Structure 1
């Protein structure tokens, strides 16, 4: 559990809970899991949610009924989301386990909750740390993906505020990555806001999982006991804060990085990532010869040959990393740091992905829930269509996340609500490092677009 510092908790009351099953049932089938899915077993559920300002004239019963009927429909398309995780022992001489999703319509959990005395503005907490009660707006706090053997693979919590609602989703990471999650969320919203909800979607999900050439599911894990591959990590107290970067500030960063390198290859996001890498490294006050790493979650769908469809329901991502010494990152300029990130992204090709796959298949591993020391890890993406999720209540006021998969140095990227190339970064750091970052001159120049 992420422990926010110095903030009172607000009590979130659970009013009701129901199980929502697909509106169209079919013969149960087995959904095999790829290596990208299985790597996520020890990580926590994806926890993302949207904050809406809803007029008092809209009864909460109407909202819940609409969410229920539309969730029934969308689960009929995204069948694995309504399934359950199954772990089977392999009894032959090699031993081990296999893991898959049984699409047996276990359904998804839908909670109605309320928190007294909290308004939309309190959740936004402009210029302040993310309030500690935000993590209570999500179900399954602390659950890892492996817990899907007993928990629902999707749990939704609609929390009533004084002047709005918060729709928080906990989505088992074995079902899919951020791309799959936001495809699901947008499909649900599309059905919910439709005057006549029905089964047709603009982009139906691709349910068949990807397996490398020559491999056959199921993939056998060489484990016999949960303790061999599941690590339940609780981070120390962290400060979590949102920072808004305007399109103009990011464009200036990009131009500065490209001018320094004498090139045009540095992207806006690479320049912003380099800035965060530099500023956090400086805030950590590390010895000059200390190795520091910047890792980004890189999506594989478009990089594979042939590419996977954008609507592929599953995980398809790897971490790409650039490393240097603290002295190099601080003294050699933003262009140099951005160039290191650019090179790591450029190396992430179909050939490199398949080499990683081949290595993993020979010795399967599960990702640890925390990155290496002195790492800056940037997940999520400003390209995800988060503010397009209109459930019929208008555009969301903000995106927020739960406590899942956070540690010192974790950054999540979101599109800025105002568009125009703006980006919001959710930054998690130890208290003393966050304080130092807030005082960093380079960081403030970019945040305040000076």
Structure 2
């Protein structure tokens, strides 16, 4: 099914929409109607209507006609076969009035929008370069999610995903997926995209089928589902609409790589400080911990302050822990849905920007991880409130999105590794982490800041890396 279109209303200065298809599971491959309840892990993402946008760029030195003839049919067919197993992405989020509860509903014939566009002005090499770029430069390649549809009784039907493929004639193409986080977290999404890629590339599929039985897999010892549902259903419906933050006109985004030697030097630095403070063997010193510590310190030091900063004010760091990796909870890696617990820690500004700032940050983050590994559900009742708390903190908080464990650069549709893959965000309080294309053991870090602050951030980062390298010799 397709609709011919001439342009993109918002982005026609950068892309020309050629065709729009609707893609769903093969007819009869999924039961006529399937309803999946939300777990307490899912409901906060519905309340705040968080969306995730992930883009992949691939090299493809062929004209648009070749893409349509040789590539597009396979992309669509393999997506359809994939949706047979990952059908929630082509379902509807059903948000009914009380006393009924929100859920996912797949009905026979449900599809998702699949847009095919052609870039008219953009240089692909500029988009995948490792230099800071305007945060809006990738917006034309992001599909717009369809608007919710309201039934007569007030029930909202919300399409959860849209996909856009943008062709750069004779250079490459991009695949961008925009979806509501309430359907799936990062691990579930990357299982989906790799399953699709393996079928498209006609390779043996190593991705196991997803598990959808949320009530059987997710335990709720604190009875949080009913608590979160009460909050959700008693709130104005407008609270569930996506909150769009204004993007400053000078904001740029920079994706850079911390090489393996950078990470190892950071670990040596933190471990040496642990030894001198009598903490050796007690602190969780991982790649994630030291990377986050470095970025947190550099971000705070780069802030442009109009007044003298208060050294005693507490600065917060937010991150997520995937419960699939916590042995105590016994949740399979193939579980499809949200399975994240929130973690946050705080340090006074003067400690974070002090001589041992990276070590102080590592202690705070590492201790929080150890705490949640031991007691995974300790603070899970704050899962709903952590979103609003983070939203009210403005520049006093920093949060992490993504993970190197997702192996985004292993997403091969048959044309090799992506030239670039990143999570799209335009919030200076968010930092994305990913694996990287070439650097073995390295980490790709994505930061969005004002131009002036980005220049300062990069200088501080380079200084720290050079200083740490000397100490590591």
Instruction: State the TM bucket, normalised to the shorter chain.
Output: 0.7 to 0.9
Task: Please state if 1:244 is matched with 2:264.
Answer: no
Whichever structure has more helix as a proportion of its residues is: 2
8 Å CA contact retained: 1:22, 1:76? yes
Against the structure 1 CA distance between its residues 323 and 143, is the aligned structure 2 distance closer, same or farther, given a 3 Å change threshold?
farther
C-alpha RMSD over aligned residues: 3.0
* Closer, same or farther: CA 28–214 of 1 in aligned 2, 3 Å: farther
**Where does 1:249-288 land on structure 2 (aligned, <5 Å)?**
249-262=262-275, 263=280, 265-284=284-303, 285=305, 286-288=309-311
Aligned to 1:321, what secondary structure does the other structure show? strand
Contact 2:145 2:179 in 1 (8 A): no
Map Cα deviations across residues 200-228 of structure 1 (whole Å, 9 max, x no partner).
76411111112414859784534253135
Deviation sequence 1:112-143 (CA, Å, 0-9, x none): 00112334312113323256231221112798
Q: Is the 8 A contact 2:42 2:338 kept in 1?
A: yes
1:401 maps onto 2:401 in alignment: no
With over 3 angstroms needed to count, the CA separation of the structure-2 counterparts of 1:128 and 1:423, relative to structure 1, is same
Deviation readout 1:150-180 (Å, 9 max, x if unpaired): 5532211000013000011112211111111
Moved over 6 A (4+): 141-144, 447-450
The aligned runs of 1:17-36 (5 Å cut-off) are 17-23=20-26, 24-36=29-41
Deviation per CA, 1:82-141, whole angstroms, max 9, x where unpaired? 2101111224xxxxx621110114212111001123343121133232562312211127
Structure of greater relative contact order (alpha carbons < 8 Å, 6+ residues apart): 1
Q: Is the 8 A contact 1:124 1:130 kept in 2?
A: no
Alignment of 1:19-98 (within 5 A): 19-23=22-26, 24-41=29-46, 42-56=48-62, 58-91=66-99, 98=101
Give deviations 1:379-436, integer Å, cap 9, x for gaps: 1001112111111111111103334xx4222100011111421111100223443232
Moved more, 324-333 or 432-441: 432-441
Listed as ranges, the gaps of 5+ residues in structure 2 are 1-10
Structural mapping, 1:48-447, within 5 Å: 48-56=54-62, 58-91=66-99, 98-104=101-107, 105-130=109-134, 132-140=136-144, 149-162=156-169, 163-194=171-202, 202-209=207-214, 210-213=218-221, 215=223, 219-220=229-230, 221-223=232-234, 225-228=236-239, 230=241, 232-237=243-248, 238-262=251-275, 263=280, 265-284=284-303, 285=305, 286-303=309-326, 305-333=328-356, 334-349=358-373, 351-353=375-377, 355-357=378-380, 367-368=387-388, 370=391, 372-373=393-394, 374-403=396-425, 406-440=426-460, 443=463, 445=465
CA distance in 2, matches of 1:366, 1:99: 21
Contact preservation (8 Å) 2:400, 2:431: yes
Aligned length: 427
Cα pair 2:112 2:162 within 8 Å, conserved: yes
Report SS of the residue matched to 1:160: strand
